[in-house]
Amino acid sequence: MILTVTLNTALDLTYGVPALVPHSSHRVTDLSERPGGKGLNVARVLTALGHDTVVTGFAGGATGAVLRDLLAALPRQKGALTDALVPVAGDTRRTLAVVDAATGDTTQFNEPGPHVGADEWTAFLDAYAGLLETADAVALCGSLPPGIHVGAYGELVRLARAAGVPVLLDTSGEPLRRGIAARPDLIKPNSDELAQLTGSREPLRATRDARRRGAHGVIASLGPDGMLAVTPDGVWRASPPAPVKGNPTGAGDSAVAGLLSGLVESLSWPDRLRRAVALSTATVLAPTAGDFDRTAYEELLPRVAVEEQGPGAAA
C-alpha cells in the first residue's frame, strides 16, 4: 500500500471560458468539480497504475463532505483507493482554475484552508502512525493549512523514517526548508521552489545544493524541459520527446506518482524518470485537468530520453 498525505485537501473547481479578460464578465462554457489537493491527485494516478493507495489528511464542513462523496464516486481503477481523511471542524478549502480557451493558459485561485486545532493535529498524528505500519511508501504533499506548525512535514518525515517507510516530500517555502532537514528519501521541487530554497537558478547547482541540505535524492521538475535527478546512485536528465501544449494542472503530481510507484517497484532510476516524465506530459495533454491521457502515456514512455550526467555530478 502507498500512503499519500494531503494536509490541505481541496474541492477543485475548473471553469472554461472562451477568453479570460480582466475587468469583464465571463460566460463559463465548461465546469468540472473534483476532489483535490496534491496528495489526492497523486493517489488517483497511483491507483490508475495499479497500486493500492490510502489518502489521509484533513476534510471538514460542507465542502469536505462534497469532496469525500466525490472521492467515493471516482471510477474504479486497477488499484484500490481508500479514504482515511481525518475530520476537522473547519470547512475544506476550494480552488478555482479558470482555463482560457483562446490561449490555453490557466489562472488559479487557492483558498487558504480551514484552521486546524491542536486536538485535530494530535488525532491526525495518531492516524498517520497507524497507517505507516502497513505502508510501502508515503508521499507528503502540498501546503499547510492554518494552525499547523511550519515544521509539520519535518515531524512527519521523521515518523516515516522511524517506521522504515520511504518518504517523498513535495511542498515549498519554509515547510520544504524545515522538512528537508529531516532527511526525506526524495524531494520534488519545481524550478521556482528550488530557486527559493537554494538561491540558484542553475539547475544542477541548485539541485546539488538541495541534496546537501538533507534530502537523499532531489528530483527537480524543469517544466517542458523534463526532470533532473541528483541521487546517491548518480545524476540523470530526462526529457520528453517534444514540447506539448495543454493544461499543466496536476502534471507535477503525476510525476510524483511516477517516482513513488517506481520506487515501490524497485525500478532503475532511468525507468523511474521515464515514467515520471511520460505521466507528467500525458497529464498536460489530458482533456480534464489533473487526469492523464493513458494512450499518450503509453506512446510517450519509450520515447522519453534519459541521459546520465558525468561522473561526480552528484557531489
What amino acid positions are annotated as catalytic residues?
A: 253
Q: How far apart are CA 83 and CA 173, in angstroms?
A: 28
Please say whether the beta carbons of 116 and 148 come within 8 A. yes
The order of strands in the sheet holding 30-36 is 30-36, 10-17, 93-100, 106-110
Please say whether the beta carbons of 58 and 145 come within 8 A. yes
CA distances for 40 relative to 5, 53, 57, 183, angstroms: 8, 10, 10, 23
Please say whether the beta carbons of 175 and 204 come within 8 A. no
With vertex at residue 253, the alpha carbon angle to CA 251 and CA 256, rounded to the nearest 5 degrees, is 115
Of 44, 39, 37, which is closest to residue 12 (Cα–Cα)? 37
Of 311, 309, 274, which is closest to residue 203 (Cα–Cα)? 309
Please say whether the beta carbons of 10 and 141 come within 8 A. no
Identify any residues that bridge with 103 across adjacent strands, giving them in sequence order: none
Helix (H) or strand (E) holding 17: strand 10-17
User: Residue 225: what residue type?
Assistant: D
Q: How far apart are CA 82 and CA 152, in angstroms?
A: 23
CA distances for 231 relative to 118, 219, 280, angstroms: 36, 8, 20
